[in-house]
């Protein structure tokens, strides 16, 4: 799809969104247009979820395959039964605890939701986002808003308006610019049509927090090699990918850093441009190397690492490196989502250092 639209960008206050700006964006949604807007996780590319033609526009703008379903965003918890056919008690409990917030629930779909939204499936993914701009926009539009992340298919999710513009200029009607998104990785997608509930995609709400409320929670095992890529919702292995090839290193910190140093030097010796993605405190360990390095944040503050994740990977791409060597920072809390995104970016290329 060529960029045929004229993309307007409007600044909006992230805490107290200006009513006039929100009204203009809501009118675009109601008219069947596409609006990119901030959520607390990443920027979303929104359309009226009840308007099939508008939702088709999302797939076209993103060049997203039709088999990958969209998340429906609501302005109120009370609207859940407008898009889900049933609301089991567990959904009510989760909604009360985590909404508005970074948790997406997969439930049986209401007949009203067009097939294009759910990729023809019988379930619908729903969440009430927490960002004041997202909430104001959805409420003003008065319709549920289908919104994937506002990037082209298979690329890094956007965490600021400039990222959206770089991916979708000429393909969306309006971008609401409220600055960087506070969580930085996408929502946790939790299926409630399995027993026990299954995390299809780790994200902003941690597995630990879900277990506290639900007891046992399953975690979908991601396919790890490119050959195993399954065209099923939420399971694309190679997703969230930077342009560079990424290799993820797991294991004890000192041993991992030693292996990464060796591998970086070996690649450089072959003329390959290498970049390193490391925790802040790792930087002195590679200071002697002449290798482009980004500081991902302190390993002890994975919330900060998550917030900067996509921006730091973009930095490596912009530096023109061909290979990114990244150190795994653990799976505690939001660390599971960070590991998931890095593993997918690596297309399963994960090295265990003994």
Residues that bind ligand TXA (CB under 6 A): 39, 41-42, 44, 68-71, 104, 106, 118, 121, 123-125, 129, 147-149, 186-187, 189, 200-201, 233-234
- The residues, ordered by sequence, that sit 6+ positions from 331 with a Cβ below 8 Å of its Cβ are 339
User: Which is nearer to Mg ion, 150 or 274 (by Cβ)?
Assistant: 150
- The least CB distance from residue 124 to ligand TXA, in Å, is 5
User: Which is nearer to Mg ion, 149 or 235 (by Cβ)?
Assistant: 149
- The residues, ordered by sequence, that sit 6+ positions from 341 with a Cβ below 8 Å of its Cβ are 185, 240, 309, 310
Whole-angstrom Cα distance, residue 72 to residue 139?
A: 13
- The least CB distance from residue 191 to ligand TXA, in Å, is 6
Whole-angstrom Cα distance, residue 340 to residue 49?
A: 28
- The least CB distance from residue 230 to ligand TXA, in Å, is 11
Q: Which entry of Mg ion, ligand TXA, none binds 136, CB below 5 to 8 A by partner kind?
A: none
User: Which is nearer to ligand TXA, 187 or 293 (by Cβ)?
Assistant: 187
Pairing of strands 188-191, 198-201: antiparallel
User: Which is nearer to ligand TXA, 232 or 289 (by Cβ)?
Assistant: 232
Instruction: Give contact residues for Mg ion (rule: CB under 5 A).
Output: 149
Whole-angstrom Cα distance, residue 26 to residue 177?
A: 15
Query: Residue 347 has what DSSP assignment?
Result: T
User: Which is nearer to Mg ion, 123 or 149 (by Cβ)?
Assistant: 149
Minimal CA–CA distance to 261: which of 216, 293, 232, 215?
293
- The residues, ordered by sequence, that sit 6+ positions from 80 with a Cβ below 8 Å of its Cβ are 74, 87, 91, 95, 107, 126
User: Which is nearer to ligand TXA, 201 or 327 (by Cβ)?
Assistant: 201
Whole-angstrom Cα distance, residue 114 to residue 11?
A: 32
Number of C-beta neighbours around residue 297 at 10 A: 22
Sheet holding 292-295, edge to edge: 292-295, 274-278, 323-327, 245-251, 350-353
- The least CB distance from residue 185 to ligand TXA, in Å, is 8
Minimal CA–CA distance to 102: which of 222, 187, 21?
187
Residue nearest to Mg ion (CB): 149
- The least CB distance from residue 151 to ligand TXA, in Å, is 8
Pairing of strands 8-11, 174-177: parallel
The alpha-helical segments, DSSP class H, found in the chain are 19-30, 52-62, 89-98, 132-141, 161-168, 207-214, 253-269, 283-286, 302-318, 335-345
Q: Which entry of Mg ion, ligand TXA, none binds 71, CB below 5 to 8 A by partner kind?
A: ligand TXA
User: Which is nearer to Mg ion, 147 or 256 (by Cβ)?
Assistant: 147
- The least CB distance from residue 222 to ligand TXA, in Å, is 11
- The least CB distance from residue 73 to ligand TXA, in Å, is 6
User: Which is nearer to Mg ion, 82 or 238 (by Cβ)?
Assistant: 238
- The least CB distance from residue 63 to ligand TXA, in Å, is 13
């Amino acid at each position: 799809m060529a960029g045929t639209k004229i993309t307007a960008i409007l600044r909006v206050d992230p805490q107290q969104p200006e009513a006039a700006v929100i009204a203009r964006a809501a009118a675009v949604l109601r008219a069947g247009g596409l609006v990119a807007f901030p959520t607390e996780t990443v920027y979303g590319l929104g359309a009226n979820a009840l308007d099939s033609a508008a939702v088709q526009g999302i797939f076209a703008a993103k060049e997203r395959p039709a088999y990958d379903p969209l998340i429906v965003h609501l302005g109120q918890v009370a609207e859940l039964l407008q898009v889900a056919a049933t609301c089991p008690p567990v959904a009510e409990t989760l909604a009360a605890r985590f909404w508005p917030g970074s948790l997406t629930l997969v439930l049986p779909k209401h007949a009203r939701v067009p097939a294009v939204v759910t990729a023809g499936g019988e379930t619908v993914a729903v969440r009430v986002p927490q960002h004041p701009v997202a909430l104001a926009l959805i409420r003003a539009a008065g319709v549920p808003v289908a919104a994937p992340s506002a990037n082209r298919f298979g690329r890094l999710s956007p965490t600021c308006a400039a990222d959206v513009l770089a991916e979708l200029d000429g393909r969306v009607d309006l971008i609401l610019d409220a600055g960087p998104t506070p969580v930085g990785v996408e929502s946790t997608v939790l299926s409630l049509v399995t027993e026990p509930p299954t995390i299809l995609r780790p994200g902003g709400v941690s597995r630990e927090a879900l277990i506290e409320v639900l007891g046992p929670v399953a975690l979908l095992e991601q396919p790890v090699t490119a050959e195993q890529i399954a065209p099923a919702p939420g399971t694309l292995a190679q997703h969230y990918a930077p342009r560079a090839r990424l290799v993820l290193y797991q294991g004890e910190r000192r041993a991992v850093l030693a292996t990464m140093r060796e591998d970086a030097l070996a690649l450089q010796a072959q003329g390959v441009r290498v970049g390193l993605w490391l925790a802040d405190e790792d930087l002195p360990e590679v200071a002697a190397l002449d290798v482009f390095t980004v500081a991902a944040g302190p390993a002890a503050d994975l919330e900060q690492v998550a917030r900067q994740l996509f921006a730091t990977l973009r930095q490596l791409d912009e530096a023109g490196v061909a290979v990114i060597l990244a150190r795994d920072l653990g799976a505690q809390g939001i660390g599971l989502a960070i590991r998931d995104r890095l593993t997918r970016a690596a297309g399963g290329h994960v090295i265990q250092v003994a």
